Structure 1
Amino acid sequence: MREVFESVDSGVIYIVPNFISEGYFCQQVLPRELRLTGPTTQRDGRTIFYCDPVGIHPNMTRLLLQRADEVAPGVPRGETSLIIVGHGTNLNDNSTKAIQEQVRLIRDGGYGFAEVVDAYMEEAPLVSDWVNMTTAAHVVVVPFFIADGLHSFQDIPVLLGMEKEPGKALSEMEVFRQNPIAMHGRQLYYSSAIGTEPLMAEVILDQVHDFDTKHGIQDSVRTAASSEVLKTGLERWIQEGRDVIGEVHFAADASGFTLRHLADVGVSLADLTAYEGAVAAREIARCDEAGAFRAIKTAATLRRGWIVRVMDVSELLLALEFFYPAAVGMALAEERGALEPVPLRSLLGRQTGMYRFANGITDAQAGEIIGGFCAGESKCLRRIVFKLDAVQPLGGSAELKLGPQAGQVPGMDAARCVPLLCMEACNHIVSVARKVSRENNDAKAKG
C-alpha cells in the first residue's frame, strides 16, 4: 500500500477504503500502512484526506434494495424475507455495525419486506440458521461483501445448504444462476456480493463529497496543482531511448504509442490482437497464457499475442500503470533519491494477528526466503531496494535480486529499461516468514 503514493502526481489525495465496515483494517491497518495521522495528513507537500469506508454510507441501502429486487424479480416484498450476510469477527466490535445499521434502515424505512435480518458466517446469528430466523415464503440472501470470492462462491452456499461441500474455482458463477432454489418449503434467492453493484462507484464519490462537507473542505482545494513528475519523467525516458519495462515494449508511432509483449517485437501486426485505449492493459495483465489469475503482476508470466494503441503520453502512463502498478513512479523516485524503502525487519515487526510470529526468522533465513521466492526468472522481475534492517543489506541468495542485473528481463540492455523495483516485501514473503518462524519455534520446543 505504501507504493501507491508513487503512482500519483496530485497534491491532494482522497483515500476511500473499499471496505464494508470501519473495523480493524480501516481503524488500524490502513492508517498504519498508509502513514496517516488522522482524517487529514500533510506529508511531502501533499494533503491526504482519509474518508469513511464505503460500506457505512447511507446510500448502501439503495444498493441493497436494488440488488434484492434484481435477484428476485416480480416477487412481492411483503412475501419476502431479506437476509443481509456478513462475516462476523471478534477482532473489532465495529465489524458488524454496518450490517446492523442497514437492517435497521430497511426495517424502519417502510420498504415493505416481511422481515429483514442480519446473519453472519462466524458469529450469531448464524446464516446457517436461516430457516429458523425467517418465516416468509421467499427468502433473499445478499452477501454484504465488497467482492465475490471464497465466501460468496463457496462458504455461504454451503452454510445455506445450497451446496454440500465447497465448489469449483472462483471463476465459477453458476451458484448465482440457480435462483430460485426450493428448500425447506421456501423459495431461496441468492445474490452475488453487494460490492459488485456498478453503483458502488457512486458511493465512493459520495464518501468524498461527505468528507468535504463534514470537514469544511472547499472545492478550490481539489484544484491544487499537479507536479506532473510522472508524465514529464516518462517523456524524458522516451527521449533517452528507454522503451522497455518488465515484459512490455512501448514505442511512438504516427497516432500516439503502441505497447506489446517484448517477445512480440517483430511479430507481424496481422498475428496480434489489437486493442484501443489504456484500459485494455488491465485485462491483458489479469491472466497468464493458461488463463490463471496473475496475483504477482511483476512475474514473468505476461501473456503474448496483443498490441495496445494509446493516444498520448498520459494514456501510455496509465497503460503502464495497469501492467505494472506504481512501477514508473518508484523508478522515478529512486532516480531522484526520494524513494523510501521499508526494511524487512520493520515490515515483519509490525505484523499482528496470525502473522505476529513472522519476525522470528534468522538473518540467513531472510536471505534464502527472498532469494528463493523472488527468483527473477521464475517468480518476480523486481529489483529489491529494501534492506534487512536500517543498515544491514540482505545476504545469501537474495543478493541476486539486489544488483543492476535485477529489475528487468534477463539479458536486456539496462539502458533501455525502466527498472521494476520492490520497496517493501510483499505479503507472500510475510506468509513464508511466518511459516519458517513457527518451524523455528517448534524446533526450539523439541530441542
Structure 2
Amino acid sequence: MSGGVFLSALNDYSHAALILVGHGSTLNPDSSAPTHLHADTIRQRGIFREVVCCFWKEEPSMREVFESVDSDVIYIVPNFISEGYFCQQVLPRELRLDGPVTKRDGRTIYYCDPVGIHPNMTRLLLQRADEVAPGVPREETSLIIVGHGTNLNDNSTKAIQDQVQLIRQGYDFAEVMDAYMEEAPLVSDWYQMTKAPNVVVVPFFIADGLHSFQDIPVLLGMEEEPGQALSQMDVFRHNPIPLHGRNLYYSSAIGTEPLMADVILDQVHDFDARHGIAHTAASAPEDSLKAALEQWLRAGRNIIGQVHISTAETGYELRHLGDAEVRENGLKLYTEPAGAREIARYDAQGQFRPIKTAPTLIQGWLLKVRDVAELLLALEFFYPAAVGMLLAQEEGKLKPVPLRHLLGRQTGMYRFANGITDAQACEMVGNFCQTATGCLRRITWTLDDTQPMTGLAAAKLGPEAGQVPGVAPEKCMSLLCMEACNHIVSLARKKSRENNEAKSQTVVSA
C-alpha cells in the first residue's frame, strides 16, 4: 500500500491534524480499540502534526474533538466500513460539515471517504482469508464476507457487494458471496449457500465488537448463545470448526488488520488527488494547548479530575489524586502516554468506563511522560478534549450547545428524544450527572437559547462541579461539558417514549 510512502514523500502534513472518527460503544472498549491503535500507528510515523480520535458512542464526541487540536488544516477520516447512514448523515451533522471541504472559525476541514470503500480493502480481505485458513486451497474454499445489513441507507451493503465482485473476478475461490445479519442473504444460511468443503467467513466490520464476537457466532451455529466480548476473553476460536460436514473458518473483523492504518492514509491521499490539493512545508500555528498546560502547571494548577501532575527531572509524573503521597515502588509503572488509555479503561470492579470523567478512576498507578507533548496526549486519554475545552472557555471561545438543540438534531432511533418537558430534562440531568457519583464535569450549556438548567441540574453549573469535591479550586483545571453526552440523549429518548405511551393511554381512556 502506498499511503504512508506517498504522504511522507510528496505532501507535507506537518502543519495539519488528522481526526479518525469511530463508532465506539458504551458497553466495552472493543469497538473503539482499532481506531485508537490505527491512530497510534499513524501518530508514531510523524506524518501529521496532531492525530486524535472521536466517537459516536464514546469520548470525545464529534463536537468536542475540535478542541483537541490546534491545527488550522484538519483531515477527517471515518473509520467506518460503508458510505451509509452514519457517514452520509450522522457524521456531517455532528461534525458540522458543509461537504467535502468546510471552512469554519479560520480552519479548513477536509472530509474524506470512509476506509471501508477504499480499493485496497480487497488486499486486506484476501490476506485475512489466507491467514485464517493457511494452506487451504482457494479452489476448495467458499469465501463469505459478512456485514450487518440495514434499511437506513442503501449504501450500507454496497461496500461489501463491491468487494465480492472484485474478488470473484480473479482470485480463484470456489465461491465468493456476501451475507448479512439482518437482511437476505442471511449469514445463518451459510451452509445452504455454499458447496465447497471449506468455508471462510470474514466479518466486514471495523472492530471485534458485539456482532463479530457474540452475534455472528450464534448465527453461524458455532455457539448456542452469545458469549463474552473480546475484551473479556483470553482466546477467540480454534479453526477449523466442523459444522454441517464442512470445515468452517471464522476470522476476526477486517478492521483490526494493522494495515488499516495505511488505508486511512490512502484515503487522505485520494482526497487530495481528487480535489487537487497539494501541501508544501508550512508554518504551524502556535502550540496553544501545550503553552496553556505549561502555564497552568507553573501557576500551581496541577490537578485535573482525579489526576495529580507533578514535575520531575525527566518530565512529568501523573498519579491518582488519592496516591499523591504514595511511594513510587508501591505503584504500577507506565512510561508511555497510551498507558493512560489502559488505566482509564476499567474501574476498580473491572467494569468498562464509557464516561471517562466519571469519578471512578482506579488507583495504584504511576505514569511517567517525557515532555509536555506526551503529557497533553496522556491527558487526552484520561479526559478527552478537556484541556482544549478549558482553554477555549478561558479565552471566551467555547461554544456550548443548548440541550434542546442537541435533542432536536437527532435522527434515526433518537429522533423523538426532544419530547420531554423542561422539568423532566433538568431532573434527568441532575440525577445522571451528579458530581459525586456520575460525572466530574461542569455543565456550560443551557436548556435552550434563553433558559438555564434549573432544579437538580443547577448543582452542575458552579465551578465546584468541574472538579473533585474538597480540592482547592486554585489547584484545579476544571473539567467542562460543552454538550450533553449520548447517555443523556438515550435517557431523553426513553422518557419521551414513556410520555408518548402515557398520552396514548390517556386518549384511549377518554
TM range (shorter): over 0.9
**Conserved? CA contact 1:343–1:390, under 8 Å:** yes
Matched, 1:125 2:185: yes
Q: Tell me how far apart the structure 2 counterparts of residues 175 and 223 of structure 1 sit (CA, whole Å).
A: 47
Partner of 2:247: helix, strand, or coil? strand
**Conserved? CA contact 1:153–1:175, under 8 Å:** no
**Conserved? CA contact 1:11–1:227, under 8 Å:** no
Q: Tell me how far apart the structure 1 counterparts of residues 102 and 352 of structure 2 sit (CA, whole Å).
A: 35
Partner of 1:6: 67
Deviation at 1:149, TM superposition (A): 1.2
- Segments of structure 1 that go 5 or more residues without pairing to the other structure are none
Partner of 1:208: helix, strand, or coil? helix
Aligned counterpart in structure 2 of residue 65 of structure 1, from 122, 126, 142: 126
Query: Per the alignment, do residues 362 and 379 of structure 1 end up closer, same or farther by CA in structure 2, a change over 3 Å counting?
Result: same
More off after superposition, 17-26 vs 165-174: 165-174
Which letter does structure 1 place at the counterpart of 2:321? Answer: L
Deviation at 1:144, TM superposition (A): 0.3
Q: Tell me how far apart the structure 2 counterparts of residues 426 and 170 of structure 1 sit (CA, whole Å).
A: 25
Deviation at 1:291, TM superposition (A): 2.1
**Conserved? CA contact 1:10–1:224, under 8 Å:** no
Instruction: Give the alignment of 1:81-230 within 5 angstroms.
Output: 81-108=142-169, 110-173=170-233, 176-220=236-280, 223=282, 225-230=284-289
Which letter does structure 2 place at the counterpart of 1:44? Answer: D
Q: Tell me how far apart the structure 1 counterparts of residues 389 and 234 of structure 2 sit (CA, whole Å).
A: 41
Instruction: Give the alignment of 1:26-425 within 5 angstroms.
Output: 26-108=87-169, 110-173=170-233, 176-220=236-280, 223=282, 225-425=284-484
RMSD over aligned CA atoms reads 1.2
Number of equivalences: 445
**Conserved? CA contact 2:209–2:229, under 8 Å:** no
**Cα-to-partner distance string for 1:356-403 (whole Å, 9 max, x where unaligned):** 111111000101000001111111100000000011101110011111
**Conserved? CA contact 1:153–1:173, under 8 Å:** no
Which letter does structure 2 place at the counterpart of 1:201? Answer: A
Partner of 2:296: helix, strand, or coil? helix
Q: Tell me how far apart the structure 2 counterparts of residues 23 and 192 of structure 1 sit (CA, whole Å).
A: 22
Q: Tell me how far apart the structure 1 counterparts of residues 232 and 488 of structure 2 sit (CA, whole Å).
A: 29
Deviation at 1:174, TM superposition (A): 6.8
- Segments of structure 2 that go 5 or more residues without pairing to the other structure are 1-61
Which letter does structure 1 place at the counterpart of 2:167? Answer: I
Deviation at 1:223, TM superposition (A): 3.5
> TM-score by structure 2 length?
0.86
Which letter does structure 2 place at the counterpart of 1:317? Answer: L
Q: Tell me how far apart the structure 1 counterparts of residues 234 and 219 of structure 2 sit (CA, whole Å).
A: 17
Which letter does structure 2 place at the counterpart of 1:168? Answer: Q
Q: Tell me how far apart the structure 1 counterparts of residues 101 and 346 of structure 2 sit (CA, whole Å).
A: 37
**Conserved? CA contact 2:230–2:236, under 8 Å:** no
**Conserved? CA contact 1:153–1:172, under 8 Å:** no
**Cα-to-partner distance string for 1:223-267 (whole Å, 9 max, x where unaligned):** 452231101111111111100000001111111111110100001
Q: Tell me how far apart the structure 2 counterparts of residues 157 and 169 of structure 1 sit (CA, whole Å).
A: 12
Q: Tell me how far apart the structure 1 counterparts of residues 129 and 272 of structure 2 sit (CA, whole Å).
A: 31
More off after superposition, 65-74 vs 174-183: 174-183
In percent, how many aligned pairs have the same letter?
73
Partner of 1:103: helix, strand, or coil? helix
Aligned counterpart in structure 1 of residue 84 of structure 2, from 19, 23, 29: 23
Moved over 3 A (4+): 172-176
**Conserved? CA contact 2:331–2:365, under 8 Å:** yes
Q: Tell me how far apart the structure 2 counterparts of residues 318 and 171 of structure 1 sit (CA, whole Å).
A: 23
**Conserved? CA contact 1:12–1:224, under 8 Å:** no
> TM-score by structure 1 length?
0.98
Which letter does structure 1 place at the counterpart of 2:469? Answer: P
Q: Tell me how far apart the structure 2 counterparts of residues 368 and 314 of structure 1 sit (CA, whole Å).
A: 40
More off after superposition, 422-431 vs 275-284: 275-284
